[in-house]
Amino acid sequence: MPKEFSRSQRMAEQVRRELSQLIRDEVKDPRVNWVSVTSVKCSKDLAHAVVYFSQLEKDGVDETTQALNRAAGFLRRLLSSRIRSRIVPSIKFVHDNSLERGADMDALIARARASDSDADDSDAEQE
């Protein structure tokens, strides 16, 4: 019977949970406010992890990314005390813009539906 989740997926989920708490509680940098860890991708050998995050404020994303990447060593050290693993992955933070893209797609769909209903209304008036 195959495993449902690979070891790297399990490690990625544990890293996501722990980093969410650590960023919220331990990082004191004012540039790192309202940050949410959306997903983590670990390499097969568990040596590297790419951490995707989203931010409530749209401006200042580059500064937040730089601040998180500067704090990566600090967070890795704290992570090593929380995770029972021989290998703790090195961390790289990347901004996840999928939420903004989803909101833009919703707006486009709403605009298309509104223009379709306007076209249907004008067709009904002409008949």
Shortest CA distance to 11 belongs to which of 64, 65, 47, 38?
47
pLDDT value for 120: 65
Average pLDDT over residues 64-75: 94
pLDDT score for 30: 87
Residues 42 and 8 sit within 8 Å (Cβ to Cβ) = yes
CA dist list (Å): 62 to 30, 55, 56, 73, 119: 14, 11, 13, 19, 42
pLDDT at 34 over 90: no
d(CA 43, CA 49): 6
Mean of per-residue pLDDT scores for the chain: 87
Residue 5 burial (10 A CB sphere; 0-12, 13-18, 19+): exposed
d(CA 94, CA 91) in angstroms, rounded, equals: 10
Helices (H) and strands (E) in the chain, counts: 4, 3
Q: What is the pLDDT of residue 114?
A: 87
> CB count, 10 Å around CB of 18?
18
